Structures are given as structure tokens and as C-alpha cells.
Structure 1
Amino acid sequence: MSTPEHSPLGKATVYADRYDPSLLFPIPRQQKRIEIGVLEPLPFSGVDIWNAYELSWLDARGKPQVALAEFRVPADSPNIIESKSFKLYLNGFSQEKTDTATLRETLAHDLSAAAGATVTVALAAPSALGHAITDLQGELLDELPLEIDDYGPPHAGYLSANHNAAPVEGILLSHLLRSNCPVTGQPDWGSVQIAYRGAPIDRAGLLRYLVSFRTHNEFHEQCVERIFVDLMARCAPERLSVYARYTRRGGLDINPFRSTDPAAVPANLRAARQ
């Protein structure tokens, strides 16, 4: 069964070192989307960007190779891929002899099959990465002088916008996003950027809302979709993009992006906490 409690997450695991695509564990997106009122057609476009820092294999002479990998899973794919199963799958290449092109094709094939849609794969040598740490841009909310005592569940009632004011273009940012793995309870730490055009969003209410995820149990992708849906429902912006950059765990970071603009493509920057 493809539900979180049936995944390898939170269970003692023998780490295989040979290729095994059956290790990938897909989880349907539909159930959580129904919970937050998301039906077809989807009210957003987007992508989940995964970065893998622990990918290694053997070349034809048996010498280990390493690469940094970027995977882009479209938001309209039927499934997410459970992160521990993803790590176990990637580790399975560690004693396999292959070349870079074949490895990339194999990764794209297996991950696309698990997600139910085309997953793009890019591999780069660590020395070729080259880009500096660049945090998400925006008006930082975290210094607002607030007293907060609500840490969950997420409370959309904090969100509001001043519809008597002229529309604005704004980018709001917080590093205070925290949620928990729905299976293990382990914390997931992230930064979230909200770019919008519309009635000015109340900053204090938005920060209270984001903090109210602090004890909430939900996967990264689901949290970002919940934020997007709640902002649309409570603030009714003309345009909206929500981008979260989560910290790494198990050699993987997950960075979901959802937008009303189907042409929007987020940069895969590397934030200070990543």
C-alpha cells in the first residue's frame, strides 16, 4: 500500500548497495489534496526540486565517481516519492558499474515511473557547481515584535489582506517555517518565500500563520500546497507563488514551488541553511 505508514520511513533498514528500483516508494498526492480542497483542474502549477548530495557509483574500471544531482518532479504528477526510499534507491548505485549518461537515463526512467510523470535529472561534478550561497529574497517577517503562543495546527484564520487598499506587488519571506514528518515526527526546517500581486497581505497575521505549522505533521510538498490554498482563499491575490527551501536530511533537500503562473520556473539556488 502506498501510504506513509507502509513506507520504509521510521523503520530499521538494511542499506543495499546494488541497484534496486523497487526501493522507490510513491505516495499519492490525491488524499492530502482532497483534505485541503484541491480538485482537478489544479489551482496551481509548479515543481518539487530535489537536490541529492550523496550520489556515487563505479566507473568501468571500478573507480568510485560522485555527483550532485538535481531532480525536478512536476506538481501535477500523481505521486510524491517518500524521501527515505529515495535515499535507499540512490545508495543502491554505490557498487554498480555504469557511465554518467546511462546513470542519468536510469534515474529519469525510474523516478518518472514512481512519480507517474516525467522527472528531469541533472548531474554535476561538485567542482562544477560554482554558484555561491544565495538566500531567498523578500521582505523578512521574522523581526516583527509579536507574542506568539499558537504552534499548531495551521490556522488559516490568521491570514487577511486589506482589500480597501490599492493592489501591490510584494515578496514576503520567513525562515521560521517548521513542520514534522507525518511518520517519524522528525522536524523539517525551511524558509518560505511568498510572491504575490493583490491586496496588501497582513504581515503579522502571515507570520502567525506560518509559525502555526510548527507542530504540524505533513510532508514538505503538502505544507506548501496548504499555504498556497489558504492564501488564495483568505487573501485572494491576483497572482501568487509560494516557494519553500527546506534543509537537508539524509543527503537530500526538497524544495516545493507552487504558482498561479504556469510559466514560472524557480531558480534552484542554495540557501544559507542548505
Structure 2
Amino acid sequence: MKLKNALILLFCISILAFHCRKSEPSWQVDLLSPLLHSSIGLGDLIADSLIKKDANGELAVVFQKKLYDIRIDSIFSFYDTGVIKSYNIDSLSLYNTKIDYPITLGQICRNSGFLGLFIASQHGNSIAVPAIPAVSSPAIEIDADSLFTTMTLLEGNIDITLKNGLPIDVSNVIFELRNTSNRELIVSGNFPLIAAGKTETKTYSLAGKTVEGKLIGQLISLASPGSNGVPVKIDTNNAVIASINVYNLHPKIATAIFPAQNLINKSQPFILKRTSCISKKF
């Protein structure tokens, strides 16, 4: 019995000695240390198609979304309509032009023989001028090629005006206007009488005529009944002034300088048939 108690006591002492043994010292330290270094930007978060980069390197995020898709043929239907129109130069107009040239009393006298020489010698004096038989003047070149070279006209007008600046009446005034190159007659006419100091005008049509830029004008005949015994002052610089005024020119064919004008001004209507009514809320 004593032996049993002694064994139990020894066992208890052994257990107590084991649990009371001093532990070895130790430390537990919680530290954060980077294991990986990286970076992330806006371009990594958003698709490239949404980012716009300007010259300064600034980024702009652009979102695009189609709200509605509509075509004109979903609203209207177009009829199959063809339009053909020709435009000709007969709708064009050329410049109007006016040309003056004088035929002086001195020129008339030089073509009137001895009588003409006598009248010219009285320059500055007053005499009774006798009747002067028909005389002609030299051809005068008329240059209009700064405006046109040649033209064939559908329509056009020419005014021939004679202003009598002589102190005596003139009669039987016959004139001609021709092309220079082929001498083709453009206009001819007759003024039976033009009183002293008066002006007479006649108008002629140029429709169908081919007119060149270089023309020849000539008085084929010019006569005078004189001063009827009344003394008049002689001034050989006095003149019969011929004026040519060309206007309302509409060419069929022309080599010319055309003034600024509307060539085509026409509207063409088309019928549109409505097929639907737009009613859409966004």
C-alpha cells in the first residue's frame, strides 16, 4: 500500500515538473513589403475607340450612340422624271455700241471741183452759197473689233443718224455700210432732205446679217440746194455728223466679248409623293 502511494506521488511530481518548464523566447512581427510594382491608366480601363488624344496629350472620352436612322426615300417617293434642256447663244446679248464720224464742209468742197474750191476760199466770210451737185465722201473705216470679230445675227437693230451742222440744207444723202473683208453690203439708205441744223434718224434691221468688227462707211451721194440767195457764214470745219448706233444684238454665231449676264435661269419642279409621316420620340 505504501509502495502504491509512493508511485502515485512520483507520477504527480513528474507531471508538475514538465508543465512548469520555461519556454524558449520568440517574436511575431507583422510587416507589409511590396512584392510587385505596376501602374494602371485611363486607357487600360476604357476601350481605345472611345478615347481621343489631342496635340497637348490630353485625353477626351467620346461616347457615340446612333439614336435614329432615317433616309429620304422612306419619306418621299420620286417619280422617274428625266429633264433635258438645250440652251443656245440666241438667249445672249452683245454690247450696244455707238460710233460717230464727221464729214466736214472742207471735205465736201475738196470733192466739188472749182465750185468747192471757191466756197472753201471764203472761209470766215458770209456768202450766198449756190446749189452744190451730188458729191461723195471717201470711205471711212469703222473699227469695232474690240467688241466683236464677226457675228451672224438672229436679230438686231442699227440706227443711222445724220446731224446737219452746215449752214445750208443737204439733200439726197445716200449712205452705205459694208464689211471690210468681202465688201458685203450690210445697210444702205437715203435721206431725201436734212435742213440746216436739224437731225434725222432711220432704223434698220440686222436680222440674218453677218457683220464683221471692221466695217466701211461711206456717203455715196450728198447734194445741197444752197442757201437760196441768202448769205451765210462759211466755216469749213462745220460738218455733217453721221452716227451709227447698234443695239439689241442677239447672235446665232459670234466671236465676241459678251457682257456679264445670266446665261441660264430656270427652275424645274418635281412632284414628291409623301409615303409616311414622321412620328418618333427619343
Q: TM-score over 0.5 for the alignment?
A: no
Flag the structure with larger Rg: 2
Higher normalized strand content (fraction of residues):
2
TM-score band w.r.t. shorter chain: under 0.3
Higher RCO by CA contacts (8 Å cutoff, separation 6 or greater) = 2
